[in-house]
Structure 1
């Protein structure tokens, strides 16, 4: 199924071993340990350049190769377009299993898939076969939830992520994973909405699973087949497919997580990806996709695939929102104005960016995971610099700095724990000299790190607006987990030592009384 032959212009280079979510995790870490002030330094000065940089094949290659050398990123695929022209489509470095990455190497792009699913829905809407503003339940009878408000959800609200469904009410990546879109929709029968339809925005993969199931029912064919027939192949994306799980992706979506500046290969757990984040594509095909965004529905060979009105609609968020149909839009006044969307797996990540003022499109996919390895975002930011006529700035995953701060915190936690254990008897003697309540603070504060460890998945989920498991947090930010575990272990040791020291006099008296009784 997976093709991997180099096209003309598909270069390779040697390599070494969701933006909102990243910011949210930074806020969480700041609240827990004042980490934000230490890690969020402004980016370094841009590299000096004698001439105004330009965005061309040579500058793209140089930037990506420099980035791989500087960060140790194992591999990336990149597509850059200008108007209707593909400036560069290439692979760099290697896959997790050591295969060279080329312009035709298939890679997962996770939630970049949502914009493609939206096109499939919009094509059917343009043909009058789907009504965007009619209830989903009227067009997909099997769609039902344990909440009467679900009957009001429209197709447009699914695509704009304003249906009222949310991870807080239906944590799709924590629950048992379905095998098909039919099962994914059926799993909603016991779920409730977090908000009234149309009143709030929640990023939730299930919105797009329901939309994809609607495409299946209306078109009468499997979603992957319809997406290929109606969107991918007409755009020239012949090497792209949609799959239903991470296990069906190349190499099983095996990739890397980063900790303390080092990269570690990891397998990806099985996640259901249908409709929401299951497209596997290539740099060449991403170039064709970006061109079609610029031309508002026309393929690279001049074929109209989506009517212009629907293509514009895909880029236009509802009033008062910043999320359209698989695209996030810059806040008003931010420059350069951009439309973008990230795609994140635990071991892979991707981003696509449109810069309408420059007519530039950028897509990057890397084999490092979310948060700990946000390399796709950093690489793409450097390409945006080039599009703006600047030398690429020092864009790097924040964990390359933050992990070492956490390492210092980890060593400090262990050291404080050892110090606390060593002084437990002295603490107990002081506590015993006063009223019993004086011991309470010294016994309660060690419970805080233990509580932080216990609630870490919930706190991360609260910060990111998503829900996950402890195992998933280990993938997302290993250094944070190691610090939390070290702090909890140190605190537990201190707590046990203090409890033992407090109890020691009573134990000695009890033993003495037993000895006296025997005599």
Structure 2
């Protein structure tokens, strides 16, 4: 009888489990079989480790949308969805390149003609600038660099025409066409060229000839941040010590280079054009297959950059985008898949942007196991926090020991004392040169201002400021203490008796 009861209990449990399996929701799949639960897990893991409050994703294959979606929240607390408008940053360069190629196909622009043929106002400080061609702007081989025209540190123009005027102060780092060096200025000039040749504002041309034909009705392009951001675009984030902090993008001119505002849903249509030989999902042809191939391919084996697109080490066509409060990536695979990602947190130490996530999604759609790699922002920020506390502790300790230190060394030659104190200026020198140093060592020679440096890494700036302040304090205190101890003794002190008479 007992065996029967055990058998019956097992039957009931098995039936219950089976019923739950039937009614419980299983893994969600896209129409091509993509496991959307795995996509969500990959995106949310990346977001948690990288400090991204919200991420939008678009995945296409051929001329079909496989998946569009949003994960997490924006800075207002609202859920990020496939229709949440977000800055695409430098993904915008591929839009500008396509607009130029449309004019090339219309016979209005020749790629290897001088830019000055279309922009009579284009003048730079170096005579060789007259030889810069349209292709060289799009290839980023004009010779203009962030070092010869620091576009982020200089006063910001408020229009593409103003950007051309500002470029008159540019010099050339190399001869045009001899080296690829990435700078936003090239694409400011390219967008102005579209504006002049088409006879209408760049934003209007882009809407009429690119965005509307694709059905990208939620997309636009802007001139200046944060002034021109649409009201429905929420502030992005910077990262500090494990926290995502909502801030407005610093003032920057972005049109033509990184001014596109779009959604995951719209970006899916853009990816289809790229992977469908220039033809939209609705059948509209924007450019020829030859133009798409030209944009995706470098025209010179010395570099990998085409026109608004780059090629990675695996031969995949891609471009990333960087604001100080948003990052983005777009990636085209030979299998016909296209992937776009936008995250609402900016680039920083330990975070190169969303390329890692795009690569992980690429592995997922092609049936491979995604890499577990993710930004190590928290590790770096906590390390810098430790250095900040150490600098503070050592500074306070040295200040308290100032008199003892001065008494012990007061009799040494002045030159030796100066040599001992000179290293105290190193943190100040680091603070003063940090934007240039970071641009040269970490960002490939890109320009960054002091304000933007704070967006880039609060923890790094905090450490260098604290270290510089404490060391200057110690330097000043020790110098004063030494001067007092080494003061000439020829002064006759006031006799104590005199003091008593005055007091009495």
- The answer as to whether partners of 2:410 and 2:486 remain within 8 angstroms in 1 is no
Query: How does the TM-score come out when normalised to structure 2?
Result: 0.86
For residue 482 of structure 2, what is the aligned residue in structure 1? 502
The Cα of 1:518 is off from its aligned counterpart by: 11
2:335 is the counterpart of 1:365? no
**Structure-2 change in CA distance of 1:421 and 1:55 (3 Å):** farther
The Cα of 1:89 is off from its aligned counterpart by: 0.7
The Cα of 1:507 is off from its aligned counterpart by: 4.7
| Higher Rg | 2
The 3-state SS of whatever aligns with 1:144 is: coil
For residues 478 and 443 of structure 1, what CA distance do their matches in structure 2 show?
Answer: 28
**Structure-2 change in CA distance of 1:179 and 1:445 (3 Å):** same
For residue 103 of structure 1, what is the aligned residue in structure 2? 82
For residue 61 of structure 1, what is the aligned residue in structure 2? 40
Q: More deviation in 128-137 or 492-501?
A: 492-501
For residue 318 of structure 1, what is the aligned residue in structure 2? 299
For residue 50 of structure 1, what is the aligned residue in structure 2? none
For residue 447 of structure 1, what is the aligned residue in structure 2? 425
For residue 292 of structure 1, what is the aligned residue in structure 2? 273
The Cα of 1:262 is off from its aligned counterpart by: 0.9
For residues 480 and 443 of structure 1, what CA distance do their matches in structure 2 show?
Answer: 24
1:86-97 alignment, distance < 5 Å: 86-97=65-76
Among residues 235, 256, 271, which one is paired with 2:252 in the alignment? 271
For residue 175 of structure 1, what is the aligned residue in structure 2? 154
Residue by residue over 1:495-517, the C-alpha shift from the partner in whole angstroms, topping out at 9 and shown as x without a partner, is 1222122122135947x635369
For residue 367 of structure 2, what is the aligned residue in structure 1? 389
- The answer as to whether partners of 1:236 and 1:300 remain within 8 angstroms in 2 is no
The Cα of 1:253 is off from its aligned counterpart by: 5.8
For residues 57 and 248 of structure 1, what CA distance do their matches in structure 2 show?
Answer: 35
For residues 55 and 477 of structure 1, what CA distance do their matches in structure 2 show?
Answer: 37
Among residues 111, 116, 119, which one is paired with 1:140 in the alignment? 119
For residues 344 and 250 of structure 1, what CA distance do their matches in structure 2 show?
Answer: 19
Give ranges in structure 1 of 5+ residues lacking alignment: 1-53
For residue 377 of structure 1, what is the aligned residue in structure 2? 355
For residue 342 of structure 1, what is the aligned residue in structure 2? 320
Among residues 436, 448, 459, which one is paired with 1:458 in the alignment? 436
Among residues 195, 199, 212, which one is paired with 1:216 in the alignment? 195
The Cα of 1:461 is off from its aligned counterpart by: 2.4
Runs of 4+ with deviation above 4 angstroms: 69-72, 372-375, 507-510, 516-519
For residues 214 and 38 of structure 2, what CA distance do their matches in structure 1 show?
Answer: 27
Q: More deviation in 433-442 or 146-155?
A: 433-442
2:291 is the counterpart of 1:305? no
Give ranges in structure 2 of 5+ residues lacking alignment: 1-32, 499-504
For residues 268 and 449 of structure 1, what CA distance do their matches in structure 2 show?
Answer: 28
For residues 122 and 395 of structure 1, what CA distance do their matches in structure 2 show?
Answer: 37
For residue 49 of structure 1, what is the aligned residue in structure 2? none
**Structure-2 change in CA distance of 1:154 and 1:379 (3 Å):** same
- The answer as to whether partners of 1:104 and 1:284 remain within 8 angstroms in 2 is yes
2:468 is the counterpart of 1:491? no
For residues 391 and 205 of structure 1, what CA distance do their matches in structure 2 show?
Answer: 35
The Cα of 1:395 is off from its aligned counterpart by: 2.8
- The answer as to whether partners of 1:368 and 1:374 remain within 8 angstroms in 2 is no
Give the structure, 1 or 2, with the largest relative contact order (CA under 8 Å, sep 6 or more): 1
Residue by residue over 1:81-136, the C-alpha shift from the partner in whole angstroms, topping out at 9 and shown as x without a partner, is 22322221112222212232221121111110000100000011011110100101
The Cα of 1:419 is off from its aligned counterpart by: 2.6
Query: How does the TM-score come out when normalised to structure 1?
Result: 0.84
- The answer as to whether partners of 1:56 and 1:88 remain within 8 angstroms in 2 is no
For residues 201 and 72 of structure 1, what CA distance do their matches in structure 2 show?
Answer: 32
The 3-state SS of whatever aligns with 2:261 is: strand
Q: Cα RMSD between the aligned structures?
A: 2.2
The 3-state SS of whatever aligns with 1:65 is: helix
2:376 is the counterpart of 1:398? yes
2:304 is the counterpart of 1:327? no
